[in-house]
Amino acid sequence: MMGVMIEGHAFFKTTDTALATFLIVKDCELVAIDYSAPRYEYQFKDTVSIRELSQAYIIGRGFADASTLIRVNKKLLRLIHRQRQWKDD
């Protein structure tokens, strides 16, 4: 989990699918999924709130509707299997 600059844009990157699912449910913008690394990386638009949400998730204080988490997680896993982007589906 980290913030990086790519082509002048700040991105929050993680390889944790559960965290990525949680962030999507919390309306964080998933910009891309990078398949070039040995492990795929989820790249989100970097904001202060995304850092706060990720910290809350890590310490067990991040809450979201369970059915929404399951639905989004299934979609994300389907995209990874097909190596597609969130915006394409």
Q: Which tens digit of pLDDT belongs to each residue from 19-53?
A: 999 999 999 999 999 988 788 899 999 888 999 99
CA separation, residue 19 to residues 8, 14, 47 (Å) = 25, 8, 15
pLDDT classification of 89: cutoffs 50, 70, 90: low
| Predicted local confidence at residue 75, as pLDDT | 92
71 compared with 47, residue with greater pLDDT: 71
Split at pLDDT 50, 70, 90, the class of 74 is very high
Which element (helix H / strand E) includes 10? strand 9-14
Record the pTM: 0.82
8-state DSSP, 37: S
- Lowest average pLDDT, out of 19-23, 68-72, 85-89, goes to 85-89
